[in-house]
Structure 1
Amino acid sequence: MSTAYDDIKTRLQGSMVALVTPMHPDGTVDYKRLADLIDWQIEQGTHCLVAVGTTGESATLSMQEHSDVIRFFVQHVKGRVPVIAGTGANNTVEAIKLTQEAADAGADCALLVAPYYNKPPQEGLYQHYKAIAEAVDIPQMLYNVPGRTVVDISQETVERLADIDNIIAIKDATGSLARGEQLIKAVGDRMLVLSGDDNTALELMKVGAKGNISVTANIAPKAMSETFAAALRGDYEAAHAAHDVIKHLHHDLFIDSSPMPTKYALYKMGKIDKGIRLPLVWLAEEHYATIDNALVQAKIIE
């Protein structure tokens, strides 16, 4: 059955980068570097950009900064690729406000992380997402990352939410192939299932996932776009050939709290300045060699 959201579903596929938010050393947002990163990602073939996700330090941007960064993404991208705006919160009213502002800015889709810290029951999760979907007319994507939120959106709850027209996708960052496959079988005919785990994303594509929202794509956008473009067309030989060169990054970029290693890597590559928001700190020097060697192995630096 066709819906008003079929077109955006066809565009929210492939390699999607959860882009870092570049900052000056004093912690203020570096919009010049952000513009450069956006252009570089698109030039390298990234299919979609995610603004102010976890990797974009959404937890430490103010609400005003949050909306300002999303608006900047939309204005700078100018429709070249879809923009997915991170607008989740553990306060439903706040999530509605952020989602409405993203819709007003022209974002293509809202990414809504499961409400963290207050540990709602499944009925609370359902009502939270239902309230946002009813309040704001924008395509919406669930985001299940229990390793960070300490709450898990159950398959039963996802199935209930899949009946809401503008809830069109889920980012599954559980890292469980078994769970991902079950999810695809249960709701894959009604919503997109996207991976949020670089380590398992390619394998999840083999059983029906439509793309990957990635940390690694910050560092290796061309290899990741080639990997997931090949996977979308079913050419897994080409997908693995592109992926094998950079797959170690999926581990190395998590040697400490994300996005600390990713920001160091981008700094080493000359892409951003040395800025990050407390309570995260700049990557400890003891980890520099690991990231440096990972970048050399991936043929990103010499």
Structure 2
Amino acid sequence: MFSGSIPALVTPFRNGEVAEDAYRDLVEWQISEGSSALVPCGTTGEAATMPAEEHFRVVRICVDQAKGRVPVIAGAGSNDTRVATANLKAAKEAGADAALMVPPYYNRPNQEGIFRHFEAVASGCDLPIILYNVPGRTVTDIAVETMGRIAVAFSNVVGVKDATGVIQRVSAQRAACGSDFCQLSGNDDMALAFMAMGGRGCISVTANVAPKLCAEFQAACLAGDYAEALDYQDRLFPLHGALFSDASPGPVKYAMTRVRPGFPGDLRLPMTPAGEASRSAVDAALEYAGLV
């Protein structure tokens, strides 16, 4: 259902409000450059700073601008099972093709609690769900066995964005969830290895800034041309690191102002602009990749 380069879209803000014109321009640019799907209101989109009404307004804008040309995967997770279920329904009502959903963060449920959370969510709405396993942020890890249990039990849980950084999980999850379970890398710098082990694409931060290069990299991987893919990996690798040289999405929003002059680079507290060292790293990486 999903494959290729899928940007986790930044959300442009101007004077504290969503800059709808800039967001529509961003969606249009991403599609024209070859992105194969879009993720509004994920971590990179500063979803944690958005009240529900604004969150799903942004999803609706993305859906409206995409006009069915590529799928839209709406960020919709919550650590409250009732809120997560309501978010999934709101994503469907907004026109999203699927939802990206983290396991409950902060609460730190055990594996049975994680399963029961997704049981309630998946049973409450038939919109396809992509699990988002990112223990570095949630302090909750969906174990391979639990993921397999979820995938077998609920047909609308169709894949995972894996940001564990544990590359052998790709093979373990193929065995537990089946080869049709859509595995998407959540780490740009590990996407080459991830794809070689059976991944289908990457939900990417770097694709905000370099959508065409990321799309071409993914196309090479999917075609099995790993020599060409390695050339792209080498070209993009400094940028992958630079975009996390300060708290995200500070560096990627700075990078957007470099590659898209006039793009609003504002962030919402508690996120703050990238520091001087981070900006210098981004500048160097953009030049190395040939993007400026």
TM-score range for the pair, normalised by the shorter chain length: over 0.9
**What is the aligned counterpart of 2:266 among 261, 264, 275?**
275
**What is the aligned counterpart of 2:37 among 26, 48, 73?**
48
Q: C-alpha displacement at 1:55, in angstroms?
A: 0.5
Task: Please state if 1:296 is matched with 2:291.
Answer: no
Instruction: Judge which range, 184-193 or 158-167, deviates more.
Output: 184-193
Structure 2 counterparts to residues 45-84 of structure 1, below 5 A? 45-84=34-73
1:52–1:66: 8 Å Cα contact kept in structure 2?
Answer: yes
Question: The residue matched to 1:212 in structure 2 has which SS?
Answer: strand
Task: Please state if 1:180 is matched with 2:152.
Answer: no
Q: C-alpha displacement at 1:74, in angstroms?
A: 0.6
Alignment correspondent of 2:195: 205
1:87–1:111: 8 Å Cα contact kept in structure 2?
Answer: yes
Letter in 2 for 1:112: M
Structure 2 counterparts to residues 33-182 of structure 1, below 5 A? 33-163=22-152, 164-182=154-172
**Normalised TM-score (structure 1):** 0.93
**What is the aligned counterpart of 2:224 among 224, 234, 250?**
234
Distance 1:51 1:271, change over 3 A: farther
Letter in 2 for 1:61: M
Instruction: Judge which range, 93-102 or 270-279, deviates more.
Output: 270-279
Rounded to whole Å, the distance in 2 between the matches of 1:136 and 1:272 is: 36
Question: The residue matched to 1:129 in structure 2 has which SS?
Answer: helix
1:37–1:271: 8 Å Cα contact kept in structure 2?
Answer: no
Task: Please state if 1:18 is matched with 2:8.
Answer: yes
Letter in 2 for 1:117: Y
Task: Please state if 1:255 is matched with 2:245.
Answer: yes
Instruction: Judge which range, 216-225 or 289-298, deviates more.
Output: 289-298
Rounded to whole Å, the distance in 2 between the matches of 1:211 and 1:63 is: 28
Rounded to whole Å, the distance in 2 between the matches of 1:45 and 1:234 is: 18
Question: The residue matched to 1:107 in structure 2 has which SS?
Answer: coil
Q: C-alpha displacement at 1:252, in angstroms?
A: 0.8
1:184–1:209: 8 Å Cα contact kept in structure 2?
Answer: no
Q: C-alpha displacement at 1:242, in angstroms?
A: 2.5
Per-residue Cα deviation, 1:208-237 (whole angstroms, up to 9, x for no partner): 111110001111111100010111111112
Rounded to whole Å, the distance in 2 between the matches of 1:206 and 1:98 is: 34
Aligned Cα RMSD in Å?
Answer: 1.1
Per-residue Cα deviation, 1:20-69 (whole angstroms, up to 9, x for no partner): 00111x22111111011111111110111001011001111111111100
Q: C-alpha displacement at 1:190, in angstroms?
A: 4.3
Letter in 2 for 1:159: G
The percent of aligned pairs where both chains have the same amino acid is 46
Instruction: Judge which range, 35-44 or 289-298, deviates more.
Output: 289-298
Rounded to whole Å, the distance in 2 between the matches of 1:80 and 1:65 is: 23
1:17–1:217: 8 Å Cα contact kept in structure 2?
Answer: yes
Question: The residue matched to 1:80 in structure 2 has which SS?
Answer: coil
Q: C-alpha displacement at 1:275, in angstroms?
A: 1.0
Count of paired positions: 290
1:16–1:49: 8 Å Cα contact kept in structure 2?
Answer: yes
Flag structure 1 segments of 5+ consecutive residues without an equivalent: 1-8
Flag structure 2 segments of 5+ consecutive residues without an equivalent: none
1:224–1:243: 8 Å Cα contact kept in structure 2?
Answer: no
Q: C-alpha displacement at 1:285, in angstroms?
A: 2.8
1:223–1:243: 8 Å Cα contact kept in structure 2?
Answer: no
Question: The residue matched to 2:165 in structure 1 has which SS?
Answer: coil
2:103–2:140: 8 Å Cα contact kept in structure 1?
Answer: yes
Rounded to whole Å, the distance in 2 between the matches of 1:29 and 1:64 is: 12
Question: The residue matched to 1:225 in structure 2 has which SS?
Answer: helix
Rounded to whole Å, the distance in 2 between the matches of 1:143 and 1:259 is: 18
Alignment correspondent of 1:5: none
1:175–1:197: 8 Å Cα contact kept in structure 2?
Answer: yes
